[in-house]
Amino acid sequence: MSVSVRFAPSPTGFLHVGNARAALVNWLFARSAGGSFLLRLDDTDRERSEERYATAIAEDLAWLGLGWDRFARQSDRLPAYRAAFDGLRARGLVYPCYETPEELDLKRKSQLARHRPPVYDRAALRLTEDERRALEGAARRPHWRFRLADEAVAWDDMVHGRMAFEGGHVSDPVVLRADGQPIYTFASVVDDLELGITHVVRGDDHIANTPVHIQIWRALGGTASGPVFAHLPLLAGGQGEKLSKRQGSLSLRSLRAEGVEAMAVASLLARLGTADPVEPAADLDRLVAGFDLARFGRSPPHFEVEELWQVNAKVLHLLPYAAVAERLAQVGLGACGPEFWEAVRPNLARLSEAADWWQVCRGPLAPLIDEPAFARAAADALPPEPWTGETWKAWTQAVAAATGRKGKALFLPLRRALTARDHGPEMRNLLPLLGRERVLKRLAGETA
């Protein structure tokens, strides 16, 4: 079977890391199987769907590197849903219901109060023709439900194993609102069938929708088995809180603005929920090579921001200059070159910190001179240019011989004089970037 998956967000808010995990797992699964990845915007909710969110979804996926092979919008496919509905209606598989939302809510509360499952009681099927005409005469516009078969529905879930729902434990789903708009569940099945989706990989908050999905799929002419399902446990925040697009919880947009690397997000999300250790990757190809959907467990994983920043630093330390050159140029570091990047990247937690080290290398910088006499002795021992990665060792050996200093007493005053910091990149790499003239000025206590 050729694998075809879909990521189907609704454009009602910015994507958060939970949404990104669903997109990433689908994309990695498709790529590892040589299949295709469909981006489908589920935008039938006209009141909440906004074009700015649709644009943001595309931007966020592009930032993550998750290109799509096909694209669809549910708002463009309304005739297909109508045709599918008309086919079901002609076969008597859907029926009109006239209850208001308030009446349905009262029914649910009454059932719960009697410790019964809040399943629709199919009262609309018992209406006489005269009763229906009276309701319509009173301006009641019906919504339409799909009549589920009273039978057990089972499937083999790629994450949860064998799953089964008994008939009668699930309400007949609404497929068409009173205003004629298709409900998400119905439109999703029509799309999955007509667009050739073979595997539905989504959050386990949709498990209760799957029996409905399978029955509608079959009613529309799909195979008896339906697509293959994999329901991933939902990602939770660090304190176990639910993530929400509408609340902006850990949105990709905000993480990107804070300086998080796309590959840090991808590296962490690709392993959360598995028993495998998180390994920073410099590109998505490495994640594809190590991907196995069977590795995901049933327990909800927690997304820790602190862990993300740890992975972020490790990802930066892997990136070659070519991978960051354009971004460095965008923040005014176009002239820094690969030598500078190789020197400072082991000490970066986020790329923006490179600007601080460029300032150290090019100044102006006020040095920290604790002992002027020692600084003068160091200046006297400074070798001529050209300098290489071995110059620092030769120079400090000469300073040690002239002053009798060693260890921290030798190296820390030199680092403070040249960088105004106690810690940082290896001085053997920074020294050639500073240059002899600037080093002499800083050893003399001058801002340079």
Specify if 367 maps to a domain: no
Structural domain boundaries, residue 356: 321-362
pLDDT score at 249? 64
How confident is the prediction for the chain on average, in pLDDT? 95
Alpha carbon 315 to its chain's center: 16
Q: Is residue 146 part of a domain?
A: no
Residue 123 has pLDDT above 90, yes or no: yes
pTM: 0.92
Task: Give residue-wise pLDDT tens across range 286-330.
Answer: 999 999 999 999 999 999 999 999 999 999 999 999 999 999 999
Note whether 291 and 326 are same-domain residues: no
Residues 6+ apart with CB under 8 A from 264: 280, 308, 311, 312, 314, 315
Q: Is residue 448 part of a domain?
A: no
Q: Compute the average pLDDT of residues 344-371.
A: 96
> DSSP letters along 126-153, please?
G--HHHHHHHHHTTPPPEEEE---SS-E
Q: Does 209 map to a domain?
A: yes
Residue 65 pLDDT more than 70? yes
87 is a domain residue: yes
pLDDT of residue 1: 67
Closest of 167, 156, 238, 168 to residue 200, by C-alpha:
156
- Residue ending a domain, among 329, 362, 395, is 362
Residues 306 and 406 in one domain: no
Verify that 75 and 221 share a domain, yes or no.
yes
Q: Is pLDDT of 113 > 90?
A: yes
Please report, rounded to a whole number, the percentage of residues in the chain having pLDDT higher than 90.
91
Among residues 258, 277, 297, the one where a domain terminates is: 258
Overall average pLDDT of the 43-67 stretch = 95
What is the SS3 assignment for 95?
strand
3-state SS of the chain: helix, strand, coil percent to 5?
Answer: 50, 10, 40
Q: Please, which residues bridge with residue 347 across strands?
A: none
- What is the band of 236 on the pLDDT scale with cuts at 50, 70, 90? confident
C-alpha distance from residue 223 to each of 172, 215, 235, 441 (Å): 21, 10, 31, 79
Q: Are 283 and 319 in contact, with CB atoms under 8 Å apart?
A: no
Cα-Cα-Cα-Cα torsion 421, 427, 433, 435, nearest 10 degrees, comes to: 90
Q: What is the DSSP letter of 370?
A: S
- Is the residue at 147 inside a domain? no
Q: Computed from CA positions of residues 341, 344, 346, 351, in that sequence, does the dihedral angle turn out positive or negative?
A: negative
- At 127 the pLDDT is 95
**Based on the domain organization, do 59 and 27 belong to the same domain?**
yes
Which tens digits make up the pLDDT trace of 383-437? 999 999 999 999 999 999 999 999 999 999 999 999 999 999 999 999 999 999 9
Number of domains observed in the structure of the chain: 5
Kindly report whether the peptide bond that precedes residue 364 is cis, defined as omega within 30 degrees of 0: yes
DSSP state letter for 274? B
CB atoms within 10 A of CB 366: 12
The pLDDT of residue 272 is 96
Instruction: Tell me what pLDDT residue 225 has.
Output: 79
235 lies in the same domain as 103: no
What pLDDT sits at residue 166?
85
Q: Does residue 238 sit in the same domain as residue 179?
A: yes
**Residues 254 and 269 placed together within one structural domain of the fold:** no
Is the separation of the CB atoms in 144 and 193 below 8 Å?
no
Specify the CATH number for the domain of residue 314: 1.10.1160.10
Name the β-bridge partners of 113: none
**Residues 183-217: pLDDT tens digits?**
999 999 999 999 999 999 999 999 999 999 999 99
Mean pLDDT score, 17-44? 97
Q: Please report which helix (H) or strand (E) contains residue 361, including its range.
A: helix 354-362
Q: Which amino acid is at 282?
A: A
Asked whether the predicted pLDDT for residue 86 surpasses 60, the reply is yes
The SS3 of residue 70 is strand
- Average pLDDT rounded to a whole number, residues 129-133: 94
Average pLDDT in the 271-277 region? 95
Q: Is the pLDDT of residue 349 over 80?
A: yes
Query: Between these two residues, 242 and 227, which has the higher pLDDT value?
Result: 227
Mapped onto helix, strand or coil, the DSSP state of residue 106 is helix
Preceding peptide of 425 cis, ω within 30°: no
Confidence of residue 243 (pLDDT cuts 50, 70, 90): confident
Same domain, 130 and 212: no
Helix (H) or strand (E) holding 200: strand 199-203
pLDDT score recorded for residue 185: 92
> Stretch 368-379: mean pLDDT, rounded?
96
**For residue 94, what is the DSSP state?**
E
The pLDDT value given to residue 93: 98
Nearest to 357 by CA among 365, 388, 318: 365
**Residue 350 Ramachandran class (φ > 0 left, ψ -120 to 50 alpha, else beta):** beta
Q: Is the pLDDT of residue 247 over 60?
A: no
Same domain, 131 and 246: no
Residues 87 and 199 in one domain: yes
Regarding whether 397 and 347 lie in a shared domain, the answer is no
Q: Does residue 184 belong to any structural domain of this protein? A: yes
Q: For 43-56, b where at least 16 C-beta lie within 10 A, e where not — what string?
A: bbeeeebeeebbeb
Burial of residue 304 (CB within 10 Å: 0-12, 13-18, 19+) is middle
Q: Which residue has the tokens 């019906």?
A: 142
DSSP class of residue 239 equals T
Shared-domain flag, residues 254 and 282:
no
Q: What is the pLDDT of residues 148-180, one digit of tens each?
A: 998 999 999 999 999 999 877 889 999 999 999
Question: Which CATH number is 51's domain given?
Answer: 3.40.50.620
